[in-house]
Amino acid sequence: MGLFTGKKGIIMGVANEYSIAAAVAEFLHKEGATIGFNHLPDKEGRDRMLKRVHRVADPLGATFIRPCDVANDDDIKAFFAQVKEEFGQLDFFVHSIAYAPIDDIRCETIDCTRDGFKIAMDISVYSFIATARAASKLMKEGGSIVTMTYFGGEKVVGGYNLMGVCKSALESATKYLAYDLGPKGIRVNAVSAGPVKTLAASAVGDFTQMLGLNAAVSPIGRNITGEEVGKSTAFLLSDLASATTGEILHVDLGYNIMGSPGHAIERAGIKFSSTRAEKT
């Protein structure tokens, strides 16, 4: 019997088989979960996003895949009405959605536009509040909600720019939702994953440099895998974390604890004197 045998939940935000949400879905499925998915409606009618989600859902035997644009309240209402009809009630919900217009995320934060800021906050933060509200109404006997964040919401990470501001707001929203939903026995947490090569990550500055820096500075000396994010997310969604809510769980091999480059200095062969750094 798996950790999630008999459990039902929804994962929103699968972009393709390489996304963090896909890794979470795969691990939950291995542990016995029944999972439903959304896909972004294709305005051109070619169902490109639906096909991408099918590549993740089909191997898992998932049959519930419905359109939902989280920027549209009517879409959210219709989606969760279908969820209720299909599943009755939910045990868990995963929100893995973030977006900012490409020009507004690649420019310096000080140069982002008003419209870009509004869109980024709406999709990356308010969508969590709106979908968590809808999902929580289907959690009759408690439940667990998890969203995805990144260290750039806590400290400045070069190239993360506007999305870092959004993640900071998302982490605050996580704590407030944990407070709001606590009386209903619903836990709300966030996973702060280290950098993983995904479609969304490709929009962020010099992502290759970010990967290299994380591997060099983290105490373990490598980058995380999607499977590791899946396992950590499953922990927060499961009864194993029954006393954990309002937390930001770092899954970054310790990168977040570092106040200096640490072992990266040794690996690069750099020595410091009182006045300068020299490479040996």
Q: Give the pairing of strands 65-67 and 92-95.
A: unpaired
What is the topology classification, in CATH, of domain 8-207+223-257?
A: Rossmann fold (3.40.50)
| Domain coordinates in residue numbering, the chain | 8-207+223-257
- 80-114 per-residue burial string, b: 16 or more CB within 10 A, e: under 16: bebbeeebeebbbbbbbbbbbbeebbbeeeeebee
Task: Report residues of the chain scoring pLDDT below 70.
Answer: 198-207, 267-280
Give catalytic residue positions: 150, 160
- 214-251 per-residue burial string, b: 16 or more CB within 10 A, e: under 16: bbbbbeeeebbebebbbbbbbbbbbeebeeebbbbbbb
What is the per-residue pLDDT across 27-53, written as a single tens digit (0 to 9) for each?
A: 999 999 999 999 999 877 778 999 999
